[in-house]
Structures are given as C-alpha cells and as structure tokens.
Amino acid sequence: MDRFDLLVSDYLDGALDAEGAAELSRLLEGDPERFRLFVDLVRQAGALSAELGEHDSAGFIRRVLVEAEQGRTGFVRSVMTEVRRPRRVLSRKVAAGLVAASLAIVLGLVFSLNGSRNANAAIAVLVHAGPGARFVRDGVEREARAGLQIRSGDELSSGDEEAARFRYPGEQTEVDMEPRTRLVLLDGPSGKRIELRRGELSAQVAPQPGRRPMVIAAPQARAEVLGTRLKLSAVEDATRLEVEEGRVRLTRSIDGASIDVPARHYSVAEGQAPLTAEPVPPPPTRPPVVTGFSLIQTDTPRHAIPGYETLRDGAVIPLARLSGKRINLQAHTDPPRVGSLLFDYDETPRFNTEIQWPYTLVSGDGRGKKTWIATPGRHTITATPYTGTYGNGVRGEPVTITIQVTDGN
C-alpha cells in the first residue's frame, strides 16, 4: 500500500490528522487521475446514504459548489476541513457521502464526468478555422467551424493548408494552430492544459489566476506558462520551445530535466541531450536550399558511411555490404541549420518533419536513436526545406532522388 492509499484509508476511517489532510490535498490537486480515483473510493465507501439529510450537509455542498464555480483553488482542502471539524463528529458514511456529493459536482465542472449543466461548459471558443479543421468529442469526429464552444477533453485539429485559432473567454489568452496540428484542451483545478500531439502552436498567454501556470505538454517535454508569448513545436522525437516575451520553463518528459527559457531564446528537448537556451537566430535573407544527401551510420560515432557520403540520383545501396550497421539517410542544407525539413518517402507525402539537425529520413524514438530500416526495392525521397519550424515559413525548392536498395553486395 503506497502513501496515497494510506492517506485515503485514514481519511475514510476518520483518522486523518491536519498534516495528513494537507498532504492528501496536494496529491489530489496535482494529479487528476488520483482525483478521479479518490471520488470513486469515497463513492464506494459512502455513496450518498439517506444520512445526507443531516444538519448542515446541504449548506456544505452549496459552499463547495460556489468555490468551484468561482475558480478558487484548494476546494479539496475545504471538503476535508469541513468534514474534520471538531464541533461535530460525522459518521464515516456521512463524511464519505458529503465528499462524494461535493466532489462529484466539482468533477462535473472540471472533468465532465456527470450530467450537470456545467458538464457542457465551454473552456475556449474557436474563432477561426479553415477547411479540414475537425474536432473529436465523446469519440465522435465532426467538422470544426468558427464559433465552436470547446469543452474540456475535446481534440482539435487544424486542416492541412490553413491555420486555426481559439481563445479563452474572460482573459486575453489566444492560441494559433499551424496547419496539420492536433491537440487536446483540458481544464481542471490545477489550471489550463493543452496536450500538443503534433504540429505547432503560437500562444499569447495572459497572466494566469492564482499563479497557476498554463501547461502545454508535447510528447517529449512540457512548458509551464504564467503569462507570455511563445511558440511550441512538436514532432515524434523532439519538442522545440521559442519564447518571444517573458520566461517559460521547459521540462523534459524522459528524465524531468528542466530549463528556464528567457525572451528571444529557444530550447529543444530531444533524447537525453543537454537542455540549453540559445538565442533565436535572425530571420533568413533567402530561402533555404537542399545541397545533397548521404547515408550515415547512426551508431556512435555518427558519421557518413565511406562511399556513400554523396548519394546521387540512381544510387545503389547493397544491404549485404552494410550488414550490422544502423543506418539512416540524411539531407544536407544551406544554411546548415534551417527552420525545418520535410521528407516525402515513396507514396507517403509528409512522411517525416524534422525540426532539429541532423535532418534524417526517419525520426528518432525519443531517446535520440534514428534508424532507417531499408527494404530492397526502388525508393523515392523528396526533401523540402523551410525557414519556419514544422514546415512553415518560406519554402525552399524540393529536391528528389531515387535510390535502389538491393540484398547483395
């Protein structure tokens, strides 16, 4: 039984002291999954018995509901403080029933778990959406149009060619989604949360209430924002944060390493490479250019494989000669570092978008390992460079090569 289980057990037994109540409150407020589990446990223990009609229960529920609707923090503490008041000892069943009733109401507001009117409350409004924009609610995908009232848990996707924008009502917080971006919006007692599944967003974030940061989470890292202007880009194996104003903390998912990124700087979380904050480079004066391709060995030390430093159109790659090597195909650019590079591979357009050098055909696994499992046959690769991250900004000319992979030597 872990610490959380012990605290909940003591709480239901009426044996939780003030220090334990504060610790349990912190665990509940910081972890939505534990929050849901806690409600399930107290429901099972008390489940709203007839004793809820006892003195002061209705008033208590109303007070907690008012706090939740006003967006105050610490409502879990309010529940436990009220239940533990020494002036009146409540039975275990009544205490559990009161908590279940009040938290079920709160969860209806925060997590849309019940059928109250607040379960459908909008947390944001879609103010612009181009063709192809979609949203998913309750497992059903629909077209997304301007004016859509976005609920907590909705998944939102911009179209392939046009950006989308949504706004949080009651504050000057606005988020722009670049084309081909997919995210999920959430809202809870810890504050706003955006889960950026892929793509890129730019956000102007107003100062957040109670200094509860807005969290923007991507596959490799998360950004904690109290109020600023920023851009976050996410691909399968890297997350890039660029800060225009203010300061944003970037925390890597794989190991919890973090860095505070100041204004006009950027940082990239990729694998286990050191997190650094670098100045944002000046805008390019010309479109980027793809200068060539090479076949590289990805095992340490990474280098171009002799004889394949320059792959030309029609090149032959014999797999038997490369037996035992982990390989990938790298595109080279001028300048050497560009905003992003997009690969098309055989019949798959937008096969991979690279936002961090080296620009390789196959992305990594989140730990910096990038390997191309080449199969015998004829393969066509097109590389297109961009000045902006995630395939936006000024586009350079695409360059295409065709190669032949064989089993022999």
- d(C-alpha 64, C-alpha 76), whole Å: 9
For residue 375, tell me if it sits in a domain. yes
Same domain? 265 vs 352: no
Cis ω for the linkage preceding 219 (within 30 of 0): no
For residues 109 and 127, membership in a common domain is answered with no
- DSSP 3-state of 269: strand
Q: What is the CATH number of the domain that holds 226?
A: 2.60.120.1440
User: Could you identify the residue written with the tokens 């909940």?
Assistant: 8
Q: Does 71 share its domain with 155?
A: no
Do residues 133 and 108 share a domain?
Answer: no
* CB neighbourhood size of 184 (10 A): 16
Residue 382 domain flag: yes
Residues 151, 250 within the same domain = yes
Of 118, 151, 171, which marks where a domain is finished? 118
Q: Which two tokens stand for residue 393?
A: 């900004």
CATH value at residue 344: 2.60.40.10
Tokens standing for residue 33: 């999954």
Cβ contact 284:256 at 8 Å = no
Task: Supply 268's token pair.
Answer: 């990239």
Shared-domain flag, residues 103 and 144: no
User: What domain count does the chain have?
Assistant: 3
Whether 321 and 206 share a structural domain? no
Stated length of the chain:
409
Rg (CA), the chain: 26
The residues near 324 (Cβ < 8 Å, ≥ 6 apart) are none
Q: Are residues 159 and 296 in the same domain?
A: no
Last residue within a domain, chosen from 239, 255, 279: 279
In a domain, 52, yes or no: yes
Asked if residue 231 lies in contact with residue 340, where contact means CB atoms within 8 angstroms, the answer is no
- Tell me whether strands 173-177 and 182-188 are parallel, antiparallel or unpaired: unpaired
pLDDT at 216: 96
d(CA 308, CA 340): 24
Q: Is residue 284 part of a domain?
A: no
List the structure tokens of 234: 């996410």
Identify whether residues 222 and 173 lie together within a single domain: yes
**DSSP code at position 350:** E
256: nearest Cα among 236, 275, 281:
275
Q: Helices 57-69 and 92-110 sit at what angle, rounded to 10 degrees?
A: 20
pLDDT at 22: 80
Determine contact, residues 142/114, Cβ cutoff 8 Å. Answer: no
85 with 127: CB under 8 angstroms? Answer: no
- Do 258 and 378 have their domain in common? no
Look at the pTM and tell me if it is higher than 0.75: no
Four-residue CA torsion sign, 234, 239, 245, 247: positive
Alpha carbons 27 and 333: distance in angstroms, whole number: 49
Give yes or no: residues 238 and 158 share one domain: yes
Among the candidates 54, 89, 118, a domain finishes at: 118
- Residue 340 is part of which domain span? 289-406
Closest listed residue to residue 343, CA positions, set 379, 378, 318: 379
3-state SS, residue 408:
coil
Q: Could you count the other beta carbons within 10 Å of the beta carbon of residue 390?
A: 26
Which residue ranges of the chain lie beneath pLDDT 50? 1, 44, 46-75, 77-79, 82-117
Same domain, 305 and 396: yes
Residue-wise pLDDT tens digits, 166-195: 999 989 999 999 999 999 999 987 889 999
Residue 24: per-residue pLDDT? 82
